[in-house]
Amino acid sequence: MLGKIKESIDKSLVSVSVKSGTYLETEKLKAKVGNVQEEIHNLKQELGEAIFAQWKNGGVNPQTIESSCAALNRKEAEIAGYQAQIDQITLEKARILGEELKPAATGREGGVTCSCGKVNAPGAKFCKACGKKLEAGAEAAQETAQSRHCPSCGALMEPGARFCCECGHQTV
């Protein structure tokens, strides 16, 4: 009996440790994403002001546009890198704790909620906050809870799966 209690306490400690550690790591990364999004906003504003000033003076310099757009692309890639790190942390946490990951779900307002927590418009394919592809939406709402079988190997597939876990056959 004491062994079961000790095991339960050990599992609880691991759970609390993993959850708090991953929470802190993801919140730091989300803060970085927010900072970079602010930088992107400022870069876009500066670009607009520069183009308008050039237009007022009779011509627009394409090099201004290209260099600003290149900087914006680098910032967007930086955000994608942070999001990939968040996704990896979330996957690792789920693996350690034996949790099942849930795909993006339909939000309270009828929109699609991304794994980053932002609610997007119904039918959105990408998150407006982090740019991640959304898994839910109209297609998920139309799916039934019935199990499917792979047309290639016959293995039981989870609802919403696009690939068979047994043979890798693409089903959608």
Residue 170 pLDDT: 81
Alpha-carbon span 121 to 127, nearest angstrom:
9
**Least confident interval from 71-85, 91-105, 116-130:** 91-105
Average pLDDT over residues 58-86: 90
* Model confidence pTM above 0.75: no
> In the predicted model, what is the mean pLDDT of residues 28-39?
94
Position 128 confidence tier, pLDDT thresholds 50, 70, 90: confident
pLDDT at site 101: 59
C-alpha to C-alpha distances, 142 to 20, 123, 137, 160, nearest whole angstrom: 36, 12, 9, 10
